[in-house]
């Protein structure tokens, strides 16, 4: 970060293990139109979801250091696995910056959407294993029951750009059929992984219509907006933002091709700068 600390004109740094966090970036750009962003996807080391917590903390720290060195006024951990494992450490290390992870905002969205307090969270193996969602949801609603579903195959499908079709539907049924039937079934399904919003159509069709399907992108954007305002770091409304910068640790062409699906607008390989972290 800059030697004099965060300043409103600096961009917001956002990172993920790859392109999935672009769903969060999209929500941030929509909610904070005056802000500039620099997004880092650690594509060289994706997936984080099957790695040990110790490795994920190390990778996340390196991503945060790379963004902070470029001068950012806030850090958004747009990766559930990284936020689950490393938010505490990064918030402590970058105490002068607002550091926001997607877990707490996602938990808030799920608690808001559930009447019964029975909530299912579909996420990577690492996120489920770490228990961060159980902790965040029960902090907000102590009587909640949380069922974690490890859904790492969805990450591979989304990375492949397979967001619809019989294979995606079959995987959705395989993961979800046993969870949403019978008495005591959850009434909310939280997408606890950045890659899953692009699969929302298939997920929606695999669960009963009465079950709320929620993700953390919009609530994360609200949390960032609130923190910037509280710390006097928001840019004045109407200020034109600089174009978003995209950094990746490997594969600019693939980042652009698959990332376009997550971002919802075209990206070219030339828009992506390869970096070492
Ligand atoms: N970004 C990760 C997450 O949200 C999913 C992809 C991965 O496993 O790295 O948990």
pLDDT along the chain (277 residues), means of 10: 74 96 95 97 96 97 96 97 96 94 96 97 95 97 97 91 93 94 92 93 95 93 94 92 96 95 94 96
Residue 21 covered by a domain = yes
What span, in angstroms and rounded, lies between the C-alpha atoms of 98 and 163?
33
- The CA 125 to ligand 1 mean position distance, Å, reads 9
Q: Are residues 108 and 199 in the same domain?
A: yes
User: Would you say 11 and 63 are in contact if contact means Cβ atoms under 8 Å apart?
Assistant: no
Quote the pLDDT of residue 2. Answer: 45
Of 16, 15, 14, 12, whose CA–CA distance to 158 is shortest? 16
CA 91 – ligand 1 centroid, Å: 20
Whether residues 243 and 159 fall in one domain: no
pTM of the model: 0.94
What CATH number corresponds to the domain at position 246?
3.40.50.1860
Domain count, the chain: 2
Q: Using the 3D structure, point to which of 171, 187, 215 is the last residue of a domain.
A: 215
Q: Which of 28, 12, 5, 131 is nearest to 64 (CA)?
A: 12
DSSP string across 250-263: S-HHHHHHHHHHHH
Of 198, 215, 218, 219, nearest to 30 by C-alpha is 218
Structure tokens at 124: 């990577």
Please check whether residue 72 lies inside any domain of the structure.
yes
Residues 96, 222 within the same domain: yes
Clarify whether residues 73 and 209 are in a common domain.
no
Which residues does ligand 1 sit against, CB inside 6 Å?
16-18, 20, 46-49, 79-81, 124, 127, 155, 193-195
The residue range of the domain holding 137 is: 104-215
In-domain check, residue 5: no
223 and 208 part of one domain? no
Residue nearest to atom 1 of ligand 1 (CA): 79
Nearest ligand 1 atom, CA 51: 8
């Amino acid at each position: 970060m800059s030697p004099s600390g965060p300043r409103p004109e600096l961009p917001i740094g956002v990172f993920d293990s790859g392109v999935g966090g672009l769903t969060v970036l999209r929500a941030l750009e929509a909610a904070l139109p005056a802000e500039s962003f620099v997004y880092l996807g650690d594509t060289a080391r994706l997936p984080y979801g099957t790695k040990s917590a110790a490795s994920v903390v190390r990778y996340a720290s390196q991503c945060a250091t790379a963004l902070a060195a470029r001068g950012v006024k806030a850090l958004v951990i747009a990766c559930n696995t990284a936020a689950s494992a490393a938010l505490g450490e990064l918030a402590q290390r970058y105490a002068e910056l607002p550091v926001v992870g997607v877990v707490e905002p996602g938990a808030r969205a799920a608690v808001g959407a559930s009447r019964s307090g029975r909530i299912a969270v579909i996420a990577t193996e690492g996120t489920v294993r770490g228990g961060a969602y159980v902790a965040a949801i029960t902090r907000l609603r102590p009587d909640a029951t949380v069922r974690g579903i490890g859904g790492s195959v969805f990450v591979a499908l989304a990375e492949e750009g397979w967001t619809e079709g019989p294979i995606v539907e079959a995987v959705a049924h395989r993961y979800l059929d046993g969870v949403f039937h019978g008495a005591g079934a959850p009434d909310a399904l939280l997408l606890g992984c950045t890659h899953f919003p692009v699969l929302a159509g298939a997920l929606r069709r695999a669960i009963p219509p009465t079950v709320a399907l929620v993700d953390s992108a919009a609530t994360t954007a609200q949390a960032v907006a609130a923190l910037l305002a509280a710390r006097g770091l928001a840019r004045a409304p109407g200020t034109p933002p600089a174009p978003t910068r995209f950094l990746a640790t490997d594969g600019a062409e693939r980042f652009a091709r698959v990332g376009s699906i997550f971002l919802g607008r075209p990206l070219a390989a030339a828009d992506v700068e390869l970096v070492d972290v």
